[in-house]
Amino acid sequence: MKRKTAALFATYETHIMTDNPLIPFLASYGPTPSSHTMYDECVIKAAEENGCAPLEIKHPLIDEIVALLRTPSPKSVILTGTAGDGKTYTARKIVETLSEDKHLWSTMEKDGKIYSFPHPLPCSERPLRIIKDLSELNETEKNKIFSTLCYSLSTHDDKAPVFILCANDGYLLQFFKGYDPLYRKIIDLLSKDQSNKENPREYFWLINMSRQSRQDIFDDVIDSIVKHPQWENCTSCSTVKEQGQDQRCPILCNRDILRKKEHDSMRARLRDILCLAETSGQHLPIRQLIINVINILLGDHKQKPFLLTCKKARNRAKKGEYSLTNPYANVFGDNLPKREQKLYKIFTVLNDFQIGFKTNNFFEHALLWNNKELPDCPYYGLRIFTNSRDQYLNTPTAEHADRFLEDMLDQRRRLFFSLTPDTKNTCYNPWQLSLFKHGAEYIYMFDKLLTHNKSDKEYQEIARKILCGLNRTMTKTMTKTSSELWITLSFGVYRGHPIPLLIQRAKRGGESTLSFEHLNNTSKMPVIRVTQKETSVDLPLRPLLFEYLIQIDQGALPANFSSDIYQEIKKFQLQIAAMTQKTFEYITPKEIQLSSRGELEERPITILEKEEDFL
């Protein structure tokens, strides 16, 4: 009995000696049912319990808001978005920065659920009120504050209080419903995703936290985790010291993978994915990004809660069970049961890219026959793959085949995160392993548009392909024309087959000017813009539409794609037609035909031309 107790005590002691308290603290941010501790109020508590400094993610927005509040004419700020966007976190940080007091948040004076900042704002001397969650207010409180709030948000008054209002977007709209024009204004700002910060006629700044680009702060999110000061504790760990590189702690392996920043790193590829997701309208709350990074770092296949502890990590390393901690699978939430996986938006979004489910002959061949050109990884590469591959090659039974296919998926995913993308779209381009085979070109175009570098040759080649794809779709011919956009109007004849007629040709610097731009909002979405005099029509180039147009240029058929793409192009076509009808009083449409070289040609409608001559 005594011996047993002593043994237990010894184990406990070793734990104390080697376990890093950072790991359970980080795990509390991961995909566990208890991840409600992510709520800002609870995070501080969790940090204190584990004796760790809470994750600090620098957000440029906070400084911007504080600067605005410190001006002689501050504006109220509405922080809206969905759960997990960091509304409360931002409000707390604003208060802390304004007051330079880290403890003020919990001690501030309250009237019901409405906080009063203890000092008037510098310069303007206006009082500051904070509503940290509009939905927490009861009916009486709401009625009481409604008129003051509306007044502050829609009037210029040097004495009126300035508000920081945090509210979920749906709730915000519900609250102001019917109070026009404020209600309409909020809808307009939210739907167009535009900032009204600089608008002098508006007395509030609406910030949709859900639409903030995560690309800039993604590095900060990863760094706040992988560069946390308490990783220092790991240096004294026996596993690190004794087991050597061959049995390296999987948590540290994963941390190394996350620390890499080059073009062929997981971090770079995830940032690309974020860009594509955002331009597809899928914005991810910061909380979801943290969950993902933690799951890459600590994900474990074996048993609930599917996250590594130091003890588990030591065991995996000792037994060489690296396939259980594979970050290239865990990045998609593969360590979680399907039902749980679905609870996290990040995994749904990442799985929509179908990474590893798409492939080409080059990759299949190279993986099957061990092509040395492909990069390897000492823990998650051939080491966890050779076994099942050889088994399958030697005895290709159904059971072996299944396991092999699963392992192939993991390897394809690893390659996706370990190769450098190229816009020439060669066979070893990692994007070949995803739904967006032309993802690299998309990112390239996106960057060039942002940096206004339109003279770049590769960019121009991409633009040419897009125009050709668009001309093919709009004229329903297999044309090669790609120097200008042929806008036809397919007349809306009910149950008829009208001949599409040419109404306008848009090119660079023409009467109808064609240009590639990016939207001036948070998504920076690339668009094709047709401008006539003062008006213009945009076709937002979502990644899926981009993929469609490039594939059409390469000879694919439209039927392979979903109908919403066709609807978007149709909408663009109709909007240009309407704009043309308004801009030019009289348009003489023309028939179109295809030359023997595949170029579009116009053929005048003689009877209409005659009429015009006569006029």
Partner 1 sequence: MNLSPLQEHAPQNTDMRIQEDLYGHRFAQDQEPFMIVLETLAVYSAVPYPNPNDAPQSSYSLQHRRKMRFLLFQDPYLERIITDNQIPDPQKWTEWKTKINQQFLAQENNLTRDDENDAFAYLDEKFSSNIETLYQAVHILRSHELDSSHNRRWTSRFLAVQGSSTICADMSKNWSPDRRFFGRGGELVYLMLNKFSDRKAREELNQKIHQRFLNQKSPINKIAEALSESDSADGKSDIKIGCLPEHSFNAYKHMAEDWLNLLTCDDLPDEHLFDPLFRITGLNLVVYFAEVAQKIRQEPPIPLIVDLTEGNNQHLCQEAENCLLQHREAANKAIDTFVKHKLTEPDYHQKWQEALKRKDLLSAQNILKQAFALKENENFHKNLPIEELLSNVIKRAQERSDNNIYKYLLPLTKGSGLVTARQKVKPRFTLNNDVLLALVLTNVKYTIPLKEFIENLYKRYQIVIGPEEARKAFGQRIRTECYEENLEALEKRLTLLSLAQRLSDDCAFVINPYKTKTAQ
Least distance CB 562 / partner 1 (angstroms): 7
Q: Does an H or E element contain 165, and which?
A: strand 162-168
Give the residue carrying structure tokens 């209002």: 165
Residue 180, SS3 per DSSP: coil
- Single out the segment in contact with partner 1 by CB under 8 A; choices: 35-43, 123-131, 181-189, 231-239: 181-189
Chain length of the chain:
615
Binding mask 191-230 for partner 1 (x = CB under 8 A): x----------------x-x--------------------
- Single out the segment in contact with partner 1 by CB under 8 A; choices: 171-179, 288-296, 365-373, 405-413: 171-179
188 binds partner 1 (CB under 8 A): yes
Binding mask 262-301 for partner 1 (x = CB under 8 A): -------------------x--------------------
Q: What is the Cα–Cα distance from 249 to 320, expressed in whole angstroms?
A: 10
- Single out the segment in contact with partner 1 by CB under 8 A; choices: 86-94, 418-426, 458-466, 570-578: 570-578
Contact pick of 586, 596, 597, 613 for partner 1 (by CB under 8 A): 586
17 binds partner 1 (CB under 8 A): no
**Which residues ranging from 62 to 91 are in contact with partner 1 (CB under 8 A)?**
81-83
- Single out the segment in contact with partner 1 by CB under 8 A; choices: 90-98, 165-173, 325-333, 462-470: 165-173
Q: Report in angstroms the alpha-carbon separations of 175 from 179, 186, 614.
A: 9, 11, 62
Q: What is the DSSP string of 135-189?
A: GGS-HHHHHHHHHHHHHHHH---SSSPEEEEEEEHHHHHHHHTT-TTHHHHHHHH
CB-CB neighbours of 43 under 10 Å: 17
Taking the least distance from each CB to partner 1, the nearer of 297 and 349 is 349
What are the structure tokens assigned to 482, written together? 């790609």
Q: What is the Cα–Cα distance from 47 to 318, expressed in whole angstroms?
A: 30
Q: Which residues pair with 541 in a beta bridge?
A: none
What are the structure tokens assigned to 327, written together? 């970050």
Q: Are 226 and 89 in contact (CB under 8 A)?
A: no
Angle at 611 between CA 609 and CA 615, to 5 degrees: 115
Strand arrangement, sheet containing 162-168? 109-111, 114-116, 128-131, 162-168, 76-81, 204-208
Contact pick of 56, 337, 578, 599 for partner 1 (by CB under 8 A): 578
Least distance CB 191 / partner 1 (angstroms): 4
Contact pick of 114, 298, 577, 600 for partner 1 (by CB under 8 A): 577
Contact pick of 15, 241, 508, 571 for partner 1 (by CB under 8 A): 571
Residue 129, SS3 per DSSP: strand
Q: What is the Cα–Cα distance from 535 to 363, expressed in whole angstroms?
A: 48
Least distance CB 298 / partner 1 (angstroms): 27
Which 8-state DSSP code applies to residue 298?
A: H
Q: Estimate the crossing angle of helix 139-154 against helix 182-192, to 10 degrees.
A: 80
**Which residues ranging from 441 to 500 are in contact with partner 1 (CB under 8 A)?**
489, 491-499
Give the residue from 29, 28, 23 showing the smallest Cα distance to 292.
Answer: 29
Contact pick of 199, 315, 581, 583 for partner 1 (by CB under 8 A): 581
Contact pick of 141, 321, 591, 602 for partner 1 (by CB under 8 A): 591
Least distance CB 166 / partner 1 (angstroms): 14
Angle at 279 between CA 465 and CA 540, to 5 degrees: 55
Least distance CB 314 / partner 1 (angstroms): 40
Question: Is beta strand 128-131 parallel, antiparallel or unpaired with respect to 114-116?
Answer: antiparallel
**Which residues ranging from 313 to 372 are in contact with partner 1 (CB under 8 A)?**
none
- Single out the segment in contact with partner 1 by CB under 8 A; choices: 105-113, 313-321, 519-527, 558-566: 558-566
What are the structure tokens assigned to 594, written together? 């295809």
Give the residue carrying structure tokens 């304004």: 98
Q: What is the Cα–Cα distance from 592 to 500, expressed in whole angstroms?
A: 8
Taking the least distance from each CB to partner 1, the nearer of 369 and 586 is 586
Q: Report in angstroms the alpha-carbon separations of 77 from 152, 153, 175.
A: 11, 9, 16
Q: What is the DSSP string of 5-49?
A: HHHHHHHHHHHHHH--THHHHHHTTSSSGGGGGGSHHHHHHHHHH
Q: Which residues pair with 207 in a beta bridge?
A: 79
Taking the least distance from each CB to partner 1, the nearer of 8 and 499 is 499
Least distance CB 81 / partner 1 (angstroms): 7
Q: Where are the alpha helices (DSSP H) in 431-588?
A: 439-450, 457-475, 543-553, 563-583
Least distance CB 169 / partner 1 (angstroms): 4
Q: Are 466 and 553 in contact (CB under 8 A)?
A: yes
- Single out the segment in contact with partner 1 by CB under 8 A; choices: 185-193, 317-325, 333-341, 389-397: 185-193
Contact pick of 111, 426, 582, 598 for partner 1 (by CB under 8 A): 582
CB-CB neighbours of 36 under 10 Å: 9
Taking the least distance from each CB to partner 1, the nearer of 119 and 177 is 177
Contact pick of 563, 595, 598, 599 for partner 1 (by CB under 8 A): 563
- Single out the segment in contact with partner 1 by CB under 8 A; choices: 144-152, 389-397, 468-476, 606-614: 606-614
Taking the least distance from each CB to partner 1, the nearer of 157 and 612 is 612
**Which residues ranging from 494 to 533 are in contact with partner 1 (CB under 8 A)?**
494-499, 501
Taking the least distance from each CB to partner 1, the nearer of 106 and 191 is 191
Least distance CB 177 / partner 1 (angstroms): 8
Least distance CB 80 / partner 1 (angstroms): 9
Residue 300, SS3 per DSSP: coil
Size of the residue set binding partner 1 (CB under 8 A): 53
Least distance CB 551 / partner 1 (angstroms): 20
Question: Is beta strand 76-81 parallel, antiparallel or unpaired with respect to 109-111?
Answer: unpaired
Q: What is the Cα–Cα distance from 220 to 204, expressed in whole angstroms?
A: 28
605 binds partner 1 (CB under 8 A): yes
Residues near partner 1 (CB under 8 A) are 81-83, 168-171, 173, 177, 184, 187-188, 190-191, 208, 210, 281, 489, 491-499, 501, 535, 562-564, 567-568, 571, 574-575, 577-579, 581-582, 586-589, 591, 605-608, 610-611
